[in-house]
């Protein structure tokens, strides 16, 4: 009988902690909804004690997610547990508290400055305290792969007696090799007192590029749950890639005979959403979801695929939700055809945002003969993850030459401006985009630092939309923005204003 493996997704916590991967609360909610459609068993929504913003995000997500368990991370401290319960107490689905404490000699000596006995005592006390609030408790032994196996068995046994329902074996530093990690998991499971009363999990990092291999080795050893992220994002080199684990189990089911409840046709759309809201692009050769994952350029490969796709493809694009064009959409297409295409692409948009996306589609269709699926995804994802608009673009113009330099004029409106109020400025810059950005900064009265500016074409045709991603920082916080337009300057302005609006929204929420 096929053994079912639980997927514990930590994109919103460990993934979001990666440099450059921060998300605002609206973006986190959109990702959470996508993870729910994907079918993850547990989603770790954040670390509530780390900041008021994280606490509020976990609270909001717990209050809307119905089909997945929402978890909050906390250290083995009463204050962390209190914050986690404040965030999770209103959850629709039964929530989970995820407690962690380091168990490796190097961590206990230099970070915790505790003995083994003190670590066990601390863990047990924290689990018992958390159990007063929540019945589903996971305990993680941080840096387990560099811990003494017998000590792991001991602390897990005590954690189970204290009330832990899941115990987790993390390869926190991505140090283990697959055979070694499988042996560790097998040893701990067979030597932990009370193992039959708990579930065993692994959480593997990718510092040696072995996170998925180690996770599969742990599954073969008998663990019940794997912790992973969409696109493998996370601290340092990232986490185990959720989509790679899921599809490895599907493709090699005859060898491993394990599966998950993931709806794999939602993988591509979820991957694209995470990439959009974090501003971190998926490398072209990334397994499963990279642009080249199903591309064939060599003549021998092309011939084989045309004869039979299985010659060079071990899964179909459709199995992960890569869309196939069924009908051409253009300026004469109606709302019904547009809504059907959104469904085909796995994009769920509420009624209010649907009006905005459809209007943007019609505007784009006036400028392009054919609107591609990638175009539609860009329009929809841009609206889905949007924050309230403090500033809106009304007009822009640039003038540039090799001798006179560049100047730009921009007119933007603040949401609380009275009718007739104009905020217009002309500025010189090193180029047209630099000039416009300087003008916007002067109008809003702030000078955020531009950390990243990236531009690419959504499709390959000459009328392609330009897609711009920017990252700005202000007061030690980073904000992402993205813009889409058939004009490269306009897409850049939209991306910058999008990031500015995220910044203004976060600043407005602070007391």
The DSSP code sequence of 251-265 is HTHHHH-EE----GG
Most confident stretch, 142-146, 324-328, 391-395: 142-146
Strands 42-46 and 3-4: unpaired
Give the residue among 490, 492, 422 at the shortest CA–CA distance from 455: 492
| 429 pLDDT above the threshold of 80 | yes
Give the residue among 355, 344, 365 at the shortest CA–CA distance from 486: 365
| 291 pLDDT above the threshold of 90 | no
Sheet with 423-429, edge to edge strand ranges:
391-401, 405-414, 423-429
| 149 pLDDT above the threshold of 60 | yes
Say how many residues make up the chain: 511
Give the residue among 418, 304, 427, 323 at the shortest CA–CA distance from 375: 323
For 427, phi then psi, to 5°, come to -140, 145
| 140 pLDDT above the threshold of 60 | yes
| 272 pLDDT above the threshold of 80 | yes
Percent of the chain with pLDDT over 90: 62
Across 83-87, 347-351, 406-410, least confident range:
347-351
Across 34-38, 375-379, 396-400, 503-507, least confident range:
375-379
Check: CB of residue 127 under 8 Å from CB of residue 171.
no
Q: Which residue has the higher pLDDT, 249 or 329?
A: 249
Give the residue among 105, 96, 109 at the shortest CA–CA distance from 143: 105
Plot region of 475 (φ>0 → left; ψ -120 to 50 → alpha; else → beta): left
What 3-state DSSP class applies to 137? strand
Whole-number pLDDT of residue 462:
63
Check: CB of residue 11 under 8 Å from CB of residue 229.
yes
The Cα–Cα gap between 32 and 45 comes to: 8
Q: Residue 460 — very low, low, confident or very high, per pLDDT cuts 50/70/90?
A: low
Dihedral of the alpha carbons of 251, 253, 259, 265, in degrees to the nearest 10: 20
Most confident stretch, 119-133, 305-319, 353-367: 119-133
Q: Residue 303 — very low, low, confident or very high, per pLDDT cuts 50/70/90?
A: low
Give the count of alpha carbons within 13 A of 39, CB side only: 13
The Cα–Cα gap between 377 and 33 comes to: 16
Whole-number pLDDT of residue 22:
82
Whole-number pLDDT of residue 510:
66
Whole-number pLDDT of residue 31:
96
């Amino acid at each position: 009988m096929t053994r079912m493996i639980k997927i514990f997704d930590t994109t919103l916590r460990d993934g979001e902690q990666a440099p450059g991967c921060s998300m605002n609360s609206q973006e986190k909610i959109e990702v959470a909804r996508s993870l729910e459609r994907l079918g993850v068993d547990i989603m770790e929504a954040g670390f509530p004690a780390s900041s008021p913003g994280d606490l509020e995000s976990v609270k909001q997500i717990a209050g809307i997610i119905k089909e997945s368990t929402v978890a909050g991370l906390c250290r083995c401290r009463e204050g962390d547990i209190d914050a986690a319960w404040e965030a999770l107490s209103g959850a629709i689905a039964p929530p989970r508290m995820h407690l962690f404490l380091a168990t490796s000699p190097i961590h206990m000596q230099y970070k915790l400055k505790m003995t083994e006995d003190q670590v066990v005592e601390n863990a047990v006390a924290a689990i018992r305290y958390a159990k007063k609030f929540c019945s589903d408790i996971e305990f993680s032994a941080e840096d387990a792969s560099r811990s003494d196996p017998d000590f792991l068995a001991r602390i897990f046994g005590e954690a189970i007696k204290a009330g832990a329902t899941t115990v987790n074996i993390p390869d926190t530093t991505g140090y283990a090799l697959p055979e070694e990690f499988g042996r560790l998991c097998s040893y701990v499971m067979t030597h932990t007192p009370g193992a039959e009363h708990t579930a065993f999990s692994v959480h593997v990092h990718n510092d040696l590029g072995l996170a998925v291999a180690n996770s599969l080795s742990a599954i073969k050893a008998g663990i019940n749950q794997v912790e992973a992220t969409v696109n493998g994002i996370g601290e340092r080199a990232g986490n185990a890639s959720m989509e790679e684990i899921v599809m490895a189990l599907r493709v090699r089911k005859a060898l491993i005979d394990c599966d998950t409840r993931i709806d794999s046709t939602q993988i591509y759309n979820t991957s694209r959403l995470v990439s959009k809201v974090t501003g971190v692009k998926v490398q072209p050769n990334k397994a499963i979801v990279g642009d080249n994952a199903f591309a064939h350029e060599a003549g021998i490969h092309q011939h084989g695929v045309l004869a039979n796709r299985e010659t060079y493809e071990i899964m179909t694009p459709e199995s992960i939700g890569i869309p196939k064009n069924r009908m051409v959409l253009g300026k004469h297409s109606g709302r019904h055809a547009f809504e059907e295409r959104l469904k085909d692409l796995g994009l769920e948009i509420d009624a209010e945002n649907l009006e905005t996306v459809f209007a943007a589609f019609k505007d784009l269709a006036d400028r392009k003969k054919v609107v591609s699926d990638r175009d539609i995804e860009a329009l929809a994802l841009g609206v889905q993850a949007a924050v309230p608009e403090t500033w809106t673009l009304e007009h822009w113009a640039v003038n540039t030459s090799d001798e006179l330099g560049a100047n730009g004029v921009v007119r933007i409106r603040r949401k609380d401006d009275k009718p007739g109020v104009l905020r217009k400025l002309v500025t010189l810059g090193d180029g047209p985009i630099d000039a416009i950005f300087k003008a916007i900064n002067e109008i809003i009265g702030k000078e955020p630092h531009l950390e990243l500016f990236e531009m690419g074409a959504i499709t390959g045709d000459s009328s392609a939309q330009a897609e711009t991603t920017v990252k700005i920082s202000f007061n030690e916080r980073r904000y992402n923005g993205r813009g889409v337009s058939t004009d490269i300057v306009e897409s850049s302005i939209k991306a910058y204003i999008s990031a500015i609006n995220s910044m203004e929204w976060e600043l407005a929420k602070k007391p």
